[in-house]
Amino acid sequence: MHDFNYVNHELWCEDVSVSAIAEKVGTPFYLYSHKTLLNHFRVFDGAFEGLNHMICFSVKANSNIAILKIFVKEGGGVDIVSGGELYRALKAGVDPRKVVYSGVGKRVDEIEYALKTDILMFNVESSEELLKIDECAGRLKKKARISVRINPDVDPMTHPHISTGLKENKFGINIEKSLDAYRWAKGLKNIEIVGVDCHIGSQVTKMSPFIDALERLKRLLKLLDKEGVRIKYLDLGGGLGITYNQEMPPHPKEYARAIIKASKGLDLTFIFEPGRVIVGNAGILVTKVLYRKRNEDKNFLIVDAGMNDLVRPSLYSSFHSIHPVVKKERQEHVADIVGPICESGDYLAKKRAVPKMEQGELLAVMSAGAYGFTMSSNYNSRPRIAEVLVNGDRYDVIKKRETYKDLVKGEEIPEFLKK
């Protein structure tokens, strides 16, 4: 569910007209609904009522500190994959003991930053990383709390680029070798084993991969118990999908029921890392039609948002519903909706049946709250766009639109080129 609805044929976000925001803020921009974000978090969290658990929002899905603050105020933690994401989360006021640090390529400075911050735990992805964390902790005279990220070799049945739990993926340690990894970690003097971690992929729309992974982890937990390794946290990651087009993912309550049933007898704290399922349908991308064009038998709508603003269609061939902000009687035609970037792969939709639009009219790209702004770039020297948060009948710009001056910030022409 979301709070983007048509009122008298015009799209509104909660109690504010999208057109009115566009007039003040300019286009393109990302637009989020506070009500939807809050509701999605509460529904997901509430689904696990009665189970000892922690919700650690996946910062990579949407890292704006105002968005993070919403979840922090609800008692949520965060799943991070970089020092920059840790910095953002701390700016939003997160409790460091609700921070889990994932990712295969943690640098020494990032590890030390997390240790000094006293985060809950590192999700370790390789034996060499484990050794490096031990070295850093020893140097800082600290104990590093860790879990080992297990690669369960479970097919999440999602796009290959966002699958993370197969043997061929770069993530985690093969489940068959994981017991050896724990034995080794047990002997490191600056390491405290506290958890087991698993994340099979993103935009997963079936329950079976989650349950298959959990069953494999339960077998590992029994082996660890025999080894005298006390596990406090079982991190099941995120990955629950949303509806972009015709997908029918499980509702968080259905997901929770299945997890709770499959985890009976486990005395530990569960960690969940939802991202897309919380923010995906809570945000849209608003863009303006610049030009219309016809080449032979093909129609184009050229808009002011490009692949640098929303890369998912170009990168994953992802589908996003696209609707006029103002509905009226129009003929439909089949067109490619493309941006201003100098790449043939710059598109928001291909061969899409859409209403015929006029220059200057607005389009709403739906389900753009996850992996939208976080994956945006300055390609073609385009300033990154604004982000706006609506709360009831008011809105706030939570990320200012970049300027041309921002594009060259930090760049210097060396003296020898000035002569």
Using one digit for the tens of pLDDT, what is the confidence trace for 243-261? 898 888 889 999 999 899 9
3 state SS of 180: helix
Both tokens assigned to 232: 């406090």
What pLDDT score does 281 carry? Answer: 96
Q: Tell me which H or E stretch contains 221.
A: helix 208-226
The mean pLDDT of the chain is 92
- Asked if pLDDT for residue 201 goes beyond 90, the answer is no
Angle of the 127-139 helix axis to the 178-186 helix axis, nearest 10: 20
Average pLDDT for 138-150 = 96
- Asked if pLDDT for residue 163 goes beyond 50, the answer is no
Q: Per CATH, the architecture of 4-31+280-407 is what?
A: Beta Barrel (2.40)
Using one digit for the tens of pLDDT, what is the confidence trace for 294-305? 988 899 999 999
Average pLDDT for 219-224 = 90
Output 127 or 373, whichever has higher pLDDT: 373
- Asked if pLDDT for residue 270 goes beyond 50, the answer is yes
**Range(s) of the chain covered by CATH 2.40.37.10:** 4-31+280-407
- Asked if pLDDT for residue 236 goes beyond 80, the answer is yes
**Range(s) of the chain covered by CATH 3.20.20.10:** 34-278
What fold does the segment set 34-278 form as a domain? TIM Barrel (3.20.20)
Output 19 or 158, whichever has higher pLDDT: 19
How many residues in total does the chain contain? 419
Active site residues: 342
pLDDT band per the 50, 70, 90 thresholds, residue 282: very high
Q: What are the φ and ψ backbone dihedral angles of 119, each rounded to 5 degrees?
A: -70, 165
What pLDDT score does 276 carry? Answer: 94
- Asked if pLDDT for residue 212 goes beyond 90, the answer is no
